[in-house]
Amino acid sequence: MTSSPELTFNDGNTIPQLGYGVWQVEDDVAEKVVGQAFEAGFRHIDTAKIYGNEAGVGRAIASSGLKPEEIFITTKLWNSDQGYESTLKAFEESMERLGLETLDLYLIHWMQPKQQKYVDTWKALIELQKQGRVKSIGVSNFSKEGLQELIDATGVVPAIHQIELHPFFNQADLREFGAANGILTQAWSPLGQGGELLESAVIKEIAAKHDATPAQVVIAWHLAIGNVVIPKSVTESRIRENYAALDVTLDETDIKAINGLDRTAEGAGRIGPDPAVSDFA
């Protein structure tokens, strides 16, 4: 079985480039499908407090027989827990649910600009990393300005930035900022949530050329352009199919054609909220 490439963070730790996400997966289902993801070959799982399935992920880890050093687990701090002390508390609660001693990656889930707590929250993550409770720290759903503010205030550069990113919304700007500052880019909703994108004629044509599926082509594109990518599926055959995207290699012509699907210039493509302005509890 092909194993995922590892990318190196600015702190020297590594992350499997292909992972498995569990947003909108019920806790008891998460236990089952994370087990299936491990069986398929995934070793990197992306959860969050707000997904309500950290305990299910934890049970899947416990029954997997895999050693902590063989897997990579990410969870995220929810918006209502932002602030220094509340972050330290929320972290311990997540760890309790996950049943882990040490976490691989902890992320601030959303910047929440109106709350103005993200710098204090970032300081708490720095403290958790100093204490060795979490190996690497990063953020999700920030603006360039917000990232710069964290760096200027603390001197600590996030290891990774997890953002909405798929061929219809390819985030060239934030990817460039990340590359220039030593921040890896991680794609959420990498399949565009499985709708129109997988029906695109361009994607289907490339899939036929490589004897692959549309989802595999999209995942292979993420891998080729250097994204960490975390497709979600609760369907066992798709979990296996998505992992097997590691065996699909696109050429320059394919990558150019997929880059051409971006809708940012038309003010379109984004599925979720805009982190620079969105505030929600």
Ligand X SMILES: NC(=O)c1ccc[n+]([C@@H]2O[C@H](COP(=O)([O-])OP(=O)(O)OC[C@H]3O[C@@H](n4cnc5c(N)ncnc54)[C@H](OP(=O)(O)O)[C@@H]3O)[C@@H](O)[C@H]2O)c1
What does the longest C-alpha to C-alpha distance in the chain come to? 53
Instruction: At 170, list the tokens.
Output: 């390819």
Nearest distance, CB of residue 137 and ligand X, angstroms:
15
User: Please, are residues 153 and 139 in contact by the beta-carbon 8 Å criterion?
Assistant: no
Question: CA angle 123-103-95, nearest 5°?
Answer: 90
In the complex, minimum distance from the CB of residue 164 to ligand X, in angstroms, rounded to a whole number = 7
51 is catalytic: yes
Residue given tokens 């949530």 in the structure block: 193
Residues found near ligand X in the complex (CB under 6 A): 21-23, 46, 109, 140-141, 162, 188-194, 198, 213, 215, 230-235, 238, 241-242
Specify the residue, 252 or 280, whose C-beta has the smaller distance to ligand X. 280
Q: Where does residue 115 rank: exposed (0-12), middle (13-18), buried (19+ CB within 10 A)?
A: middle
DSSP structure string for 101-118: SSEEEEEES---TTT--H
Please state the closest distance from residue 69 (CB atom) to ligand X, in A. 22
Reported in sequence order, the residue ranges of the chain that DSSP labels E, i.e. its strands, are 6-8, 14-16, 20-21, 44-46, 72-77, 103-108, 134-140, 160-164, 184-188, 228-229
Residue 129 or 140 having the CB closest to ligand X = 140
- Write down the catalytic residue from 20, 51, 106, 243: 51
Amino acid identity at 198 = L
Residues written for the chain: 281
Distance of closest approach, residue 238 Cβ to ligand X, in angstroms = 4
Cβ closer to ligand X: 128 or 165?
A: 165
Nearer to ligand X, 94 or 189 (CB): 189
Provide, rounded to whole angstroms, the least separation between the CB of residue 180 and ligand X.
22
Helix axes 144-154, 118-130, angle to 10 degrees: 50
HSE toward the beta carbon, residue 161, CA cutoff 13 A: 29
Pair of tokens at residue 210: 């490589």
In terms of CB distance, is 107 or 128 closer to ligand X? 107
The catalytic residues are 51
